[in-house]
Amino acid sequence: MSTSQTTTTEHHPALAHQFDSMEQQQDASTFGMWVFLLTEIMMFGGLFTAYLIYRLKYYPAFVAGSTSISVGWGFANTLVLIGSSFTMAMAVWAAQKGYRKSQVWLLLATMVLGAAFLGVKAKEYYDKWDECHIPGHVIGKGFNTWGGCSVTNKSLGNIAEEIRDPKHHGNPNIPEGAAEQTARQTEIFFSFYFAMTGLHAFHMVIGLGLLTWLLLRARGGEFGPSYYTPVELGGLYWHFVDIVWIFLFPLLYLISRHQHGV
């Protein structure tokens, strides 16, 4: 672009050699990020589709499994993530305006909230471990044979009981035999619970890594009105991961809270 070369005022230090101008660079980078998020949507989409198929097939078990995870913590985590999206959006704004200190603090706040989310997730995972709700096994046989759990102990038992316990929104009219079978099928629910939240948490960890990198660069004062693309792209990614959670939360935590199926 020999003509436009003369119109661009100066060669910005962040301008990569393959681009003609900062506008082209930002435009291409943002477009690339959107294309990447499209691939992410397809990836989560495949997982969501499989989840929905099994949810239709084993609806009562999915209700029972969903009842056994904590809506309170899930909701708290939703708020935490929405908060982090807000601080992230503010960080992008600060970068755009060139407010160096605000950038750093806002990015740090986002990271703290992200870490808090992961902390809560870890607590929830530990609860599942404690209740023997971890699906599958490596050695031994049957559902819940991790960490000293066995088929006979509380694992199946507590879900089967909860299915029939009105205190846990259960239905006492459900016969014991049926409750036990349903409890056994919750293994598939938990498989998806861990696969979906695990993949999401993995994205959060990558997000934290990205934020750390952005934080270091923001501290060095790299971002300002003429160049803030990395912060903007980090923001896009972070919002995407949040949105995935916005879908995960109702899908996993809020299946028919008012009553058990069968």
Partner 1 sequence: MSTATAIVKPVMPERHYLNDNYGIRSWLLTKDHKRIAILYLFSISFFFLLGGIFAALIRLHLLTPNGELFQADTYNKLFTMHGVNMVFFFLIPSVPAVLGNFLMPIMVGAKDLAFPKVNLLSWYIYMVGATFSLIAMVSGGVDTGWTFYAPLSSGYLRTHVIAMAVGILFAGFSSIFTGLNFIVTVHRMRAPGMTWGRLPLFVWANYAASLIMILGTPVLAITLILLALERGFHIGIFDPKLGGDPVLFQHMFWFYSHPAVYIMILPGMGVVSEIVTCFSRKRVFGYSFIAFSSIAIAVFGFVVWAHHMFVAGISVYSALVFSLLSYAVAIPSAVKVFNWTATMYKGSVKMDTPMLYAVAFIGLFTIGGLTGLFLAALGLDVHVHDTYFVIAHFHYVMVGGMVTAYMGGLHFWWPKLTGRMYPEAPAKLAAIVTFIGFNLTFFPQFILGYLGMPRRYWAYPPEFQVLNVLSTAGASILSVGFILPLLYFLYSLKYGEVAGDNPWQATGLEWETSSPPPTHNFHQIPVVTKEPYAYGEDAEVPVVH
Partner 2 sequence: MQSNIPIFPEQASSMAAQVDSLYLFLVLITTFFSLLIAILILIFAIKYRRTPERQAEQIHGSTLLEIIWTVIPLGISMVIFVWGAVIYYHMERAPSNPLEIYGVGKQWMWKFQHPNGQREINTLHVPTGRDVKVTMISQDVIHSFFVPAFRVKQDVLPNRYVFTWFRATVPGTYHLFCSQYCGTKHSGMVGDVIVMTPDDYSTWLASGKAEGSLASLGEKAFQQYGCTTCHRPDSGARGPNLQGLFGRPVRLVDNRVVLADDNYIRESILEPNAKVVSGFQSIMPTFRGVVSEDEIIAITEYIKHLAPQEANPLNNRSTPTQIRDSEVPNIQQQNMQQEKQQQENKQQPQKTPQGTRPANPSGKKP
Write down the least CB distance from residue 82 to partner 1, Å: 26
Q: Which range touches partner 1 (CB under 8 A), out of 28-36, 121-129, 209-217, 218-226?
A: 28-36
Q: How far is the CB of 80 from partner 1 (least distance, A)?
A: 26
* Contacts to partner 2 from residues 172-201, by CB under 8 A: 174-178, 181-182
Q: How far is the CB of 181 from partner 2 (least distance, A)?
A: 5
Taking CA atoms, 222 is separated from 153, 162, 189, 210, 217, in Å, by 58, 55, 46, 15, 6
Regarding 16 and contact with partner 1 (CB under 8 A), the answer is: yes
Q: Does 188 bind partner 1 (CB under 8 A)?
A: yes
Count of residues touching partner 2 (by CB under 8 A) = 9
Length of the chain in terms of residues written:
262
18 sits near partner 1 (criterion: CB under 8 A): yes
Candidates 152-160, 169-177, 196-204, 245-253: pick the segment binding partner 2 (CB under 8 A).
169-177
CA distance 134 to 150: 11
Read off φ and ψ for residue 20, nearest 5 degrees: -85, -35
- Beta-bridged to residue 227, according to DSSP, are 224
Contact 241/207 with Cβ under 8 angstroms? yes
181 binds, among partner 1, partner 2, none (CB under 5 to 8 A by kind): partner 2
Cα angle vertex 74, ends 73, 77, to 5°?
85
Q: Around 206, how many Cα atoms within 13 Å sit in the side-chain half-sphere?
A: 12
Q: Does 255 bind partner 2 (CB under 8 A)?
A: no
CA 140 centroid distance within chain = 31
* Residue closer to partner 2, measured from CB, 160 or 196: 160
Residues of this chain that bind partner 2 (CB under 8 A): 60, 174-178, 181-182, 262
